[in-house]
Amino acid sequence: MTRSILLHGLVLAALVALEPVLSEYHHGNLARIMVLAVYAVGYNMLFGYTGLLSLGHAMFFAAGMYGCALLVRLAEWGVGPAFAAGVVCALAAGVVVGFLALRTIGVGFMIVTLMFAEAAHLGILYYNDYTRGDEGFTIPQAIRTVAGLDLSDTTTRYFAALALFAAALIASAAVVQSRTGRVLVAIRENEDRVRMLGFDPFRYKLFALVFSATMAGAAGAAYAVLFGYAGASFAEVQYSILPLLWVLLGGPGTTLGPLLGTVLMFYLIDYASGTIMPGLAALVEAQTGIAAPGLASAWLLMVGLALVLLVLFAPRGLLGVVRARMVPWLP
């Protein structure tokens, strides 16, 4: 327990220490990564610890984002109350979806959550007059302030993202170390045995889903106010798949896996789309004389290759392998 607390503290301290030495490019990237890592932390609670695979988590991210951004844009709420309202919207969506989707299991749960997410995405597109659809809308820099702090300032934005990530990490670690966390892991391993021991699996799975939805909503609302944008692309199925990839890469069922997976996948996509695939397209054209512009944007090939290697050599994720082979106390 003491080593776990120390490790989490060191990670947060390292993120604080990085702030003054990062270049402007990486400074902005890491702020974005920490917000998205909150999303991954929530997803990890549902998938990594409880064993429930959702394909509809983008609806919770979008619920937080639009619940916050629309109130700022249309009702002229302050950023603080709007952020809280966005989180409440995602929490409420988690309760509603949980009561319905958790009546199914396995593939049925995946399909039902995907259907809810698609309905949410179509709803955003349908109410284009308010949401601006795929185009989205920006939140003016002048109103992105809270308690006198300018959230568009790079340093303030970084520490706001860090504070949110720290809160999510501490909350996740507290749940994992509690009896509730142990029951969630037991449900993942053998739900029938948990029921036989007198626990109600539905109640615990509902808790995991609502916790996960709340974290996703907090990340969505924070993304809107810190980066000043809300758009329907964040409600697409891609944003339901990404947190799964982040968790799988970092290590499902580990508290720090979501952060590691988000960092690695973010920079893999960034490097592949900016360097590897354009370079490969140029090489193909030089060797064959055939232009391959589509190849330059096919960064998903690199993501797919990374996942194949992950499945072959680290099926438990990177931190999962470290825990299994070297550091058994890793949380």
Q: What does each of the 331 residues of the chain score in pLDDT, given as a tens digit? A: 678 889 889 999 999 999 999 888 899 999 999 999 999 999 999 999 999 999 999 999 999 999 999 999 888 899 999 999 999 999 999 999 999 999 988 889 999 999 999 999 999 999 998 998 888 888 888 888 888 888 889 999 999 999 999 999 999 999 999 999 999 999 999 999 999 998 999 999 999 999 999 999 999 999 999 999 999 999 998 899 999 999 999 999 999 999 999 999 888 888 776 665 555 555 444 555 555 455 445 667 777 787 788 878 888 888 888 888 888 877 7
Q: Give the model's pLDDT for residue 66.
A: 96
Instruction: Report whether 110 contacts 99 (CB < 8 A).
Output: no
CA of residue 234 relative to chain centroid, distance: 11
Question: Measuring CA to CA, which residue among 11, 22, 40 is closest to residue 157?
Answer: 22
**Cβ-defined contacts of 5-14 (< 8 Å, 24+):** 7/256, 7/330, 7/331, 8/169, 8/170, 8/173, 8/255, 8/256, 8/331, 11/169, 11/256, 11/259, 12/162, 12/166, 12/169
Q: Give the model's pLDDT for residue 270.
A: 80
Residues near 129 by beta carbon (within 8 Å), at least 6 away in sequence: none
Question: Measuring CA to CA, which residue among 87, 79, 47, 80 is closest to residue 63?
Answer: 87
What is the rounded distance in angstroms from the CA atom of residue 225 to the CA atom of residue 157?
9
Hey, is 138 helix, strand or coil?
strand
Amino acid at 275: T
The values of phi and psi at residue 198, to 5°, are 100, 5
Residues near 31 by beta carbon (within 8 Å), at least 6 away in sequence: 154, 157, 158, 161, 162, 226
Amino acid at 298: A
Hey, is 48 helix, strand or coil?
helix
CA dist 300 → 31, 114, 327 (Å): 23, 21, 32
What is the rounded distance in angstroms from the CA atom of residue 46 to the CA atom of residue 35?
18
CB count within 10 Å of CB 67 equals 26
The values of phi and psi at residue 52, to 5°, are -105, 120
Per DSSP, 178 falls in state S
